[in-house]
Chain A
Amino acid sequence: MPEPIQPTPIAETGEPQASQLAMPVWLLVLMFLLLYWGMVYFDQHSGWFNTEVYVPYYSLAEVQEFQPPTGGVDLQRGKALFDNVCALCHNPDGMGKPGQAPPFVGSEWVVGPPSRLIRIPLVGLTGPVSVKGQVFTFAASMPPMGASFSNDDLAAVLSYMRQSWGNKAPPVTSDEVKAVRAQIGNRAQPWTPQELMQIPAK
């Protein structure tokens, strides 16, 4: 009869004990520094909160998508027309060309009363004309272009000019263009600056 198997006793080293090892101080400091940095980072990004975006919108792009159409004046189209027509003489950056045409940047004609501005491209302008205190005299005057622009298009060009290159004036509407066309009737002779100044600013 075989001997019953006796479990061999495991060599024991006594109960495990928690010792008094302290957490290193640098780890603690590092932890707090990280926590602090995290909070500052979160605050600086304001939790990615944006006062322009409230629910039900989830992104700025979504808010932009729902902006109402801006009453027909299409600055995109205005720029295209400007670059094709007016920029020939006035330069695409609106600075004018020496010997050809005066600048638009900050021009009192451009940012001034629409009733005067609209008249200029409709039947043209003969100088000398003063822009920002400087008097310009050119060999050729500005040709009339009213026939080649619809009211919408002219409003778009002029609005583009009034809101580009640092100009900040309210847009011109196509109704205003229509009204001015009706007022000047079939006049074909270009304006002089003195004549324009007589037009009420409204």
Chain B
Amino acid sequence: MNHGPVIFLAAFLALTASWFGFVLMPDIQVGGLQQTNMVGVAATYPVERPGLAREGLDVYRANGCASCHSQQVRQSGTVCNVVMTDAGTNRVAVIDVLTQELPDTSRSEIEQMLVGLPKTVLKGSDRPKANRMVRALKSSGAKSSLSIVPVGPDIARGWGKRQTVAEDFLYDDPVMLGSQRIGPDLANVGLREPDARWEYLHLYAPRLEVKGSIMPPFRYLFDERKIGQAPSPDALALPPDLAPPHGYEIVPTRKAQGLVAYLLSLQATAPLFNAPLTVPPSAEPTAQTNAPSKNP
């Protein structure tokens, strides 16, 4: 019996079904996504990566960085914290409010909360409870602020402040989500390592920056050339064992420049409606990763 048509039909159905599921449906769902507004900040998000950084995305892609690095931060929940910034003048009333709102906290601990403000008086709570606390504190004359804090293992590692959402990748084509985490997640590496010199040295010789790093060096993204009139300001400051022969210098090529511009542009922390968080007044990133400790 001739099985040809049956096999053809089965293969055709299997392929079209996955095309519907993996190509058509996602395109219907997020294909028309547009810039949105940040929440609480009058700015649109995201902005297109500057030209050099856009070129860098292609370098990132061509060098297979995505095979070791993901760019997706996950979040397992969201909590509210209440920080008291000013206890006002009526200490008794504030202590009353706190005793009422925090039944499990002892009197002496509550009195401790009033010294050395600002202090977090409610941590990891749900929204209604936090709202109640803020209102109660306000009526007692104290000032407090409520912050929305995403939580999860990736966030605890310092890989981001909130989970990444589709908007973060709006202008990336292709999107370099990655699937393995042999190295740390890079969705926010621009905040973690904002120094271009660090990035260049790390690409040229990862172990210069990170002891025992297993990341391969990408030296072919750099040129060795004769020093001209004066040394180039971009030349890498290398230790003697890696330094080029006398009279030569190592400078990043345009590819390396693009790649580093791209890395520095990787920052996905804007507060969005679908990824809410409170931006702390000091936008100081927590510089900790699960990468091996840095050389001093």
Chain A residues whose C-beta falls within 8 Å of the C-beta of B174 in the assembled complex: none
Chain A residues whose C-beta falls within 8 Å of the C-beta of B30 in the assembled complex: 51
Chain A residues whose C-beta falls within 8 Å of the C-beta of B152 in the assembled complex: 56
The reply to whether B274 and A68 contact each other, CB–CB distance below 8 Å, is: no
Instruction: Check A52 for interface membership: any CB of B closer than 8 A.
Output: yes
Contact of B147 among A56, A68, A170 (CB under 8 A): A68
- Stretch from A2-10, A59-67, A125-133 forming part of the interface with B: A59-67
Nearest A residue to B42 by beta-carbon distance? A170
With A66-B78, A68-B40, A68-B277 as given contacts, are A51 and B29 in contact (CB-CB < 8 Å)? yes
The reply to whether B77 and A63 contact each other, CB–CB distance below 8 Å, is: no
The reply to whether A69 and B146 contact each other, CB–CB distance below 8 Å, is: yes
Instruction: Check A54 for interface membership: any CB of B closer than 8 A.
Output: yes
A56 to B76, CA, bound (A): 6
Instruction: Check B273 for interface membership: any CB of A closer than 8 A.
Output: yes
Instruction: Check B289 for interface membership: any CB of A closer than 8 A.
Output: no
With A67-B39, A68-B40, A170-B42 as given contacts, are A49 and B76 in contact (CB-CB < 8 Å)? no
The reply to whether B77 and A56 contact each other, CB–CB distance below 8 Å, is: yes
Q: Shortest Cβ distance from B85 into chain A, in angstroms?
A: 13
Q: Shortest Cβ distance from A67 into chain B, in angstroms?
A: 5
Q: Shortest Cβ distance from B82 into chain A, in angstroms?
A: 11
The reply to whether A65 and B275 contact each other, CB–CB distance below 8 Å, is: no
Find the residue from B145, B146, B271, B274 having the highest chain A CB count within 10 A.
B274
Instruction: Check B122 for interface membership: any CB of A closer than 8 A.
Output: no
A170 to B43, CA, bound (A): 12
Contact residues of A between 91 and 131, Cβ < 8 Å to B: none
With A65-B127, A66-B78, A170-B42 as given contacts, are A54 and B163 in contact (CB-CB < 8 Å)? yes
Contact of B274 among A47, A53, A71 (CB under 8 A): A53
The reply to whether A54 and B28 contact each other, CB–CB distance below 8 Å, is: no
Q: Shortest Cβ distance from A168 into chain B, in angstroms?
A: 12
Instruction: Check B33 for interface membership: any CB of A closer than 8 A.
Output: yes
A 33-67 binary contact with B (CB < 8 Å = 1; else 0): 00000000001001101011110110000010111
Instruction: Check A70 for interface membership: any CB of B closer than 8 A.
Output: yes
Instruction: Check B148 for interface membership: any CB of A closer than 8 A.
Output: yes
The reply to whether A71 and B78 contact each other, CB–CB distance below 8 Å, is: no
Contact residues of A between 123 and 147, Cβ < 8 Å to B: none
Q: Shortest Cβ distance from A133 into chain B, in angstroms?
A: 28
Contact of A56 among B42, B78, B146, B165 (CB under 8 A): B78
Contact of B273 among A43, A46, A52 (CB under 8 A): A52
The reply to whether B28 and A43 contact each other, CB–CB distance below 8 Å, is: yes
Contact of A67 among B28, B42, B166, B273 (CB under 8 A): B273
The reply to whether A54 and B275 contact each other, CB–CB distance below 8 Å, is: yes
The reply to whether B28 and A46 contact each other, CB–CB distance below 8 Å, is: yes
A49 to B21, CA, bound (A): 13
Chain B residues whose C-beta falls within 8 Å of the C-beta of A70 in the assembled complex: 40
A150 to B223, CA, bound (A): 65
Nearest B residue to A71 by beta-carbon distance? B40
Nearest A residue to B163 by beta-carbon distance? A54
Contact residues of B between 258 and 295, Cβ < 8 Å to A: 271, 273-278
Chain A residues whose C-beta falls within 8 Å of the C-beta of B29 in the assembled complex: 46-47, 49, 51
Q: Shortest Cβ distance from A43 into chain B, in angstroms?
A: 7
A56 to B77, CA, bound (A): 6
Chain B residues whose C-beta falls within 8 Å of the C-beta of A69 in the assembled complex: 134, 145-146
Chain A residues whose C-beta falls within 8 Å of the C-beta of B76 in the assembled complex: 56
A3 to B134, CA, bound (A): 100
A67 to B272, CA, bound (A): 9
With A43-B28, A46-B25, A49-B29 as given contacts, are A68 and B77 in contact (CB-CB < 8 Å)? no
Chain B residues whose C-beta falls within 8 Å of the C-beta of A68 in the assembled complex: 39-40, 146-148, 271, 276-278
Chain B residues whose C-beta falls within 8 Å of the C-beta of A65 in the assembled complex: 127
B contact set with A: CB distance below 8 Å: 25, 28-30, 33, 39-40, 42, 75-78, 80, 127, 134, 145-148, 152, 163, 165-166, 271, 273-278
4 closest cross-chain pairs (CB), A and B: A68-B278, A52-B274, A66-B276, A65-B127
Q: A51-B30, A71-B40 are in contact. List 18 more A-B contacts (CB 8 A).
A: A43-B28, A46-B25, A46-B28, A51-B29, A51-B33, A51-B274, A53-B274, A54-B163, A56-B76, A56-B152, A63-B273, A63-B274, A66-B127, A67-B39, A67-B273, A68-B276, A69-B145, A170-B42
Residue pairs across A and B with Cβ atoms less than 8 A apart, 6 shown, are: A51-B33, A51-B274, A53-B274, A54-B163, A57-B78, A68-B276
